[in-house]
């Protein structure tokens, strides 16, 4: 069984009453959709159904009418409410047959953990007849694939730590062989321009492209442009992507900070490392968030010297040498204070790169003259010092996140030697 390249559609069917009740998030659908997109398989529906055999059968039949592939997650456990395998086997007129090798694996799974296998676990060794087994090396619930009349139903367990390895080790290769197509994407990350302005600049490209496709979408504080090519192999796709990506870069310039989906902090990390630079930070309203984002990256000790969290005025004075006169005259949230913070950072550390943030993240603390969202960021690269005033919008989390993005972008631009925004 194979599918025609342009016509392969899939539906992801999550089974579990706990999903409908909001007790857990359906992260499996997000993961599977992303991997199917890389294979050129169109996911048109995400469906969730509770642990009810009649509703599951009805939902499965509907999915098979409109999709080539149905991938289910959940309901493969040993308890009575784990109904996925039995319901699908019944709906597709397949008998459940015992796999002795799987039963032996389940027994050994428990023995290795010094536990006795319960009788109800035997149920997990039964699979629909003539199905392709998907081994589970991280649990006791194997999956399976049923092929029937140009359709495929793929059953996977619900826990992501089991489902994801099974998808990678068996399902991805199975689907790749069946479709004979790959989807390759470039994820261009843009900071400093809104989605609507970007779309206006690229409208002619977006409207004229069918392969590769161009799709901009906004995330918190930045915009991502996904450029996707659908081809028979990876090299052909890359050849199609390159001229389109180059054209987008020529139009947006330094606003594009990555074309591989890297975060801003990952890009700054690489620039610091490539240029043999070390950074130090001083934070007030972000409370160490910037330092945390940098040090979340493995190997950050090579480029990060230290970080100060000077939340109070006293900390700014004692740790960074900000003068009481400046604080009393201009306030903690001011250009003057930000510059003295970064100057103190420069004097107290050996880091050739530094950045300081002070602002009002809210929800309280704002005034008419200094509203919530007012942020000042100062940064230096050796003797080159810059300072920026921002009036950010959103809740406390967004203001703090956006302040960190602006700070990182200032450092990026300093290292690249381009104009600050």
Does 421 reside within a domain? no
Residues 286/404, Cβ–Cβ less than 8 Å = yes
Q: Is the pLDDT reported for residue 344 higher than 90?
A: yes
The answer to whether the pTM exceeds 0.85 is no
pLDDT confidence of residue 308: 98
In angstroms, the CA 240 to CA 229 distance is 7
Residues 11 and 155 in one domain: yes
Query: Is 28 among the domain residues?
Result: yes
Residues 100 and 151 in one domain: yes
Query: CA 311, 317, 319, 321: dihedral to nearest 10 degrees?
Result: 140
Residues 175 and 188 in one domain: no
**Summary mean pLDDT of the chain:** 94
Q: Provide the CA 252 distance to its chain's centre, in angstroms.
A: 23
CATH assignment of the domain containing 85:
3.40.980.10
Question: Considering 132, 160, 179, which residue would you say is the last residue of a domain?
Answer: 179
**Which helix (H) or strand (E) segment is 269 a member of?**
helix 264-274
pLDDT at 5 over 60: no
pLDDT in tens, 258-284: 999 899 999 999 999 999 999 999 999
* Contact predicate 210/244, CB 8 Å: no
pLDDT reading at 6 higher than 60: no
Walk across the sheet containing 222-231 and list its strands. Answer: 213-219, 222-231, 182-190, 256-258
pLDDT at 401 over 50: yes
Asked if residue 212 and residue 250 are part of one domain, the reply reads yes
Same-domain pairing of 44 and 107: yes
Q: How far apart are CA 347 and CA 343, in angstroms?
A: 6
User: 192-230: per-residue pLDDT in tens?
Assistant: 999 999 999 999 999 988 889 898 988 888 999 999 998
Q: Verify cis geometry, omega within 30 degrees of 0, for the bond prior to 363.
A: yes
Statement to judge: residues 236 and 331 lie in one domain:
no
Percent of the chain with pLDDT over 70: 98
Contact 268, 408 (CB under 8 A): yes
Query: Which range marks the domain in which residue 388 is found?
Result: 264-416
Q: Mark which of 179, 212, 234 sits at the end of a domain.
A: 179
- Residues 92 and 212 placed together within one structural domain of the fold: no
Task: Give the pLDDT score at 254.
Answer: 97
């Amino acid at each position: 069984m194979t599918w025609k390249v342009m016509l392969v559609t899939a539906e992801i069917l999550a089974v579990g009453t706990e999903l409908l009740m909001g007790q857990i998030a359906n992260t499996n659908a997000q993961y599977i959709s992303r991997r199917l997109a890389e294979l050129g398989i169109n996911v048109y529906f995400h469906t969730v159904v509770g642990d009810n055999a009649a509703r599951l059968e009805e939902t499965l039949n509907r999915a098979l009418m409109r999709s080539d592939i149905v991938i289910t997650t959940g309901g493969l456990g040993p308890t009575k409410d784990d109904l996925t395998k039995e319901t699908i086997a019944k709906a597709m007129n397949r008998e459940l047959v015992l796999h002795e090798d799987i039963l032996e694996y389940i027994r050994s799974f428990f023995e290795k953990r010094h536990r006795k296998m319960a009788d109800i676990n035997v149920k997990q060794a039964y699979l629909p007849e003539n199905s392709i087994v998907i081994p589970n090396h991280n649990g006791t619930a194997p999956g399976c694939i049923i092929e029937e009349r140009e359709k495929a139903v793929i059953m996977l367990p619900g826990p992501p730590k089991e489902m994801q390895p099974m998808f990678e080790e068996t399902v991805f290769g199975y689907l790749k062989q069946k479709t004979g197509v790959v989807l390759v994407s470039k994820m261009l990350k843009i900071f400093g321009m809104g989605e609507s302005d970007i779309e206006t600049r690229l409208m002619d490209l977006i409207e004229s492209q069918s392969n590769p496709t161009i799709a901009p979408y906004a995330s918190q504080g930045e915009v991502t442009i996904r450029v996707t090519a659908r081809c028979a192999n990876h090299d052909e796709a890359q050849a199609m992507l390159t001229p389109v990506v180059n054209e987008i870069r020529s139009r947006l310039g330094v606003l594009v900070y990555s074309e591989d989906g890297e975060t801003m902090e990952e890009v700054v990390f690489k620039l610091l490392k490539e240029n043999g630079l070390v950074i130090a930070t001083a934070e007030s309203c972000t409370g160490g968030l910037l330092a945390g984002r940098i040090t979340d990256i493995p190997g950050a000790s090579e480029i990060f010297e230290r970080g100060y969290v000077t939340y109070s005025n006293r900390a700014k004075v004692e740790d960074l040498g900000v003068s009481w006169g400046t604080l009393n005259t201009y306030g903690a949230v001011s250009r003057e204070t930000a510059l003295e913070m970064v100057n103190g950072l420069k004097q107290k550390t050996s880091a050739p790169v530094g950045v300081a943030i002070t602002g009002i993240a809210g929800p309280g603390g704002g005034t008419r003259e200094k509203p919530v969202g007012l942020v000042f960021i100062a940064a230096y690269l050796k003797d080159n010092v810059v300072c920026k005033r921002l009036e950010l919008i959103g809740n406390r989390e967004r203001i703090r996140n956006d302040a960190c993005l602006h700070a990182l972008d200032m450092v990026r631009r300093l290292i690249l030697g381009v104009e600050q925004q």
